[in-house]
Amino acid sequence: MFPTLLVCAAILSTDAESPASAIDAIEQSAVAQLTEYFVEPDAEAAALFAMPVATVNGQTILAGAVLSRYSGYLQQVRVRISPEEYAQAVQDIIQRDLPSHIIAQTIWSEVKGHSTTETQNDIRRQLERMWNSELLRLAQELKGNELTFPTSLAVLHEQFIRQGLIQSFLTAKFVNLPSEEFREYQSQLLQDAQIETAYTVSFDEYK
């Protein structure tokens, strides 16, 4: 959902902080516009999103983390296809996208273990300012849309911040992304990680 490379570029070029009152006004306006699009998931969706699909170095990845970006699509097809076809669609998405979430989790472990709290906090403050612009973009994108999403702005916010921190860490570590050096780095992380998955997945593109 979020253009992480652009996020990182914007971090590097962010100017002085905006006045807090202006930021608050932007956020309140965007949140007010977005509230109607985010709803409590029904029992079936809640159970699906809460299903563990992998563990990486002891950290659990839930199906919701993989499926959240497809909430609108799944909502549409759920009423048009059979339960069996819907279950297959969900499985196909998870099997296709889970490897990228697993590698992201291994990199996230590196972020937490190899960057100082001060550095993380500095980047987080810049990302928080950018989050307001993301809220406005999302509000404009969803304006007049009949879809609702079984997630919350809090979840999207955390995903945005985490992606930004990961991208900033990688950009500081590697001159070029992607690169052969980066691919080797990913491959080594996968080899060193303790990974268990509920689905058969392929990591070929990361080796």
- Given a contact cutoff of 8 angstroms between Cβ atoms, the answer to whether 193 and 106 are in contact is yes
> ∠ CA(134), CA(136), CA(139), 5° rounding?
110
pLDDT for residue 12? 36
Please state, in angstroms and rounded to a whole number, the distance separating the CA atoms of residues 153 and 157: 6
Q: Bin 122: left if φ > 0, else alpha if -120 < ψ < 50, else beta.
A: alpha
Pairing mode, strands 59-62 and 195-197: unpaired
Number of domains, the chain: 1
Mean pLDDT of the chain: 79
pLDDT for residue 23? 46
CA 156 to chain centre: 7
- Given a contact cutoff of 8 angstroms between Cβ atoms, the answer to whether 34 and 138 are in contact is yes
Mean pLDDT over residues 116-126, rounded? 89
Higher per-residue pLDDT: 148 or 34: 34
Amino acid (1-letter code) at residue 126: Q
Phi, psi (degrees; rounded to nearest 5) at 146: -85, -5
Phi, psi (degrees; rounded to nearest 5) at 197: -130, 150
pLDDT for residue 56? 95
Residue 168 has pLDDT above 80, yes or no: yes
Higher per-residue pLDDT: 30 or 20: 30
- Given a contact cutoff of 8 angstroms between Cβ atoms, the answer to whether 179 and 73 are in contact is no
Domain of residue 176, residue span: 4-206
Looking at residue 57, which CATH number applies to its domain?
1.10.4030
Higher per-residue pLDDT: 73 or 103: 103
Please state, in angstroms and rounded to a whole number, the distance separating the CA atoms of residues 68 and 158: 13
pLDDT in tens, 34-92: 666 666 667 887 788 889 999 999 999 999 889 888 877 888 888 899 999 999 999 99
